[in-house]
Structure 1
Amino acid sequence: MLHPSPAAELVEAFTNTVDLESGDDDVATPGELVHWLAGRGLVEPSLRLTADEHRAFLDLRAGIREALDTDDPVEPHRLAVADAVLSQVPVLVRLSDLHAPLIPAVDAPPARAALARLAAAWAEIVFSGHVHRLKRCAEHTCGWVFWDSSKNHSRRWCSMRVCGNRTKSRRYAARQRDLAE
């Protein structure tokens, strides 16, 4: 079983800062985002984010969620907005460290450096060929992001007991209604 890399764990945690089902957002304010980032060593806890910097993180999160493997149709606008955020991220490529070839530029402001670290984590997952193991739950009301550790990359739900069962129960009920008609 392939376990997620630290980069995949970071991207998974970042995308799951919003719970689509309940509407809870762990980084709904700049202060909450700083607390979350500081907890992962990406910024100092004393950082003060502007509204625009906060929006950039939320846009990146939405874009990453959109780029993940799911059965839902892709919303190109979310990808374009996230790509615009990434175009402003100062990332350097290093040959001296094969484990961390992408790093934030040395003179990057703290918020941009944190964005660069998230971008580098995303790039690492893509370059490793494991991006298809990071998926959004196929249950449309959930959307939780999870690491697919199945051998054949076939896992569709974050939890078979909850979301998989919900989906299968709805399909079964729909088939029963169709048979009764």
Structure 2
Amino acid sequence: MEPWTPELVGGHLAVDLVNTVSWRLDPARTVDRIAGPEELRRWLRAADLVGPEWRADDDDLPAVRRLREVVHRLLVSVVARSRPSQKDLDAMWRATVDARRHARPRPELPLRWELAPADVARRLAVSAEDLLSDGARLKTLGRCADAGCGWFFLDTSRSHTRRWCSSADCGNRERARRHYARNR
């Protein structure tokens, strides 16, 4: 079996993190694409967060997966236009505060804070905070129209009518399904 090739179609690092669960809305097909340290390393490399020498420590995988699920629930509340749970907001706040506590200033101006390259869970928390605190970008958040997919994306199309996580994947599958139904 070939190793999984990460797909970064969400338009933002935090969205792509959430999209590491494939077929989230179809329990019979759901696959966690970062189920182990090697898969996490592969995704982080594809997202250009780590170099080839990076290796996960015992805390990286569970921390990233916990953050992913919190961000997922928050994104669900955005597209559903519902109030997020206080538990998820508190979890996001704790992750963000922890990341900020470990950040150090870059040695130049303008002042910017950075985390150690190997500190992937905290870097992902800062990315999620970046997205979740940007109302304009959250207005462009969409979810794939495929009934089982569940992937999110930022719709940056001119007409803001994007329906699929990937036109070449879910979009093609739907077009083929409609073609088959018409020709039956």
In the alignment, what sits opposite 2:103? 91
In the alignment, what sits opposite 1:9? 12
> 1 CA distance for matches of 2:126 and 2:11?
11
In the alignment, what sits opposite 1:118? 124
Unmatched 5+ residue regions in structure 2? 1-9, 175-184
1:92-143 CA distance string (max 9 Å, x none):
5678348xx4422xxx471x2x233323333443347313322344777432
> 2 CA distance for matches of 1:83 and 1:124?
12
TM-score, scaled to structure 2 = 0.60
TM-score, scaled to structure 1 = 0.61
Shift of 1:150: 5.7
In the alignment, what sits opposite 2:62? 55
Is 1:36 the equivalent of 2:43?
Answer: yes
> 2 CA distance for matches of 1:53 and 1:9?
20
In the alignment, what sits opposite 1:148? 155
In the alignment, what sits opposite 1:170? none
23 and 146 in structure 1: CA distance in 2 versus 1, 3 angstrom threshold: same
Report the AA paired with residue 125 of structure 2: A
Of 31, 49, 56, the match for 1:24: 31
Give the match's secondary structure for 1:60. helix
Residues 134 and 145 in structure 1, CA contact (< 8 A), matched pair in contact too: yes
In the alignment, what sits opposite 1:135? 142
1:147-166 alignment to 2 at 5 Å?
147-149=154-156, 158=165
Give the match's secondary structure for 2:54. coil
Shift of 1:32: 0.9
Report the AA paired with residue 114 of structure 2: I
162 and 88 in structure 1: CA distance in 2 versus 1, 3 angstrom threshold: same
Unmatched 5+ residue regions in structure 1? 1-6, 164-181
Shift of 1:60: 1.2
Residue identity (%): 29
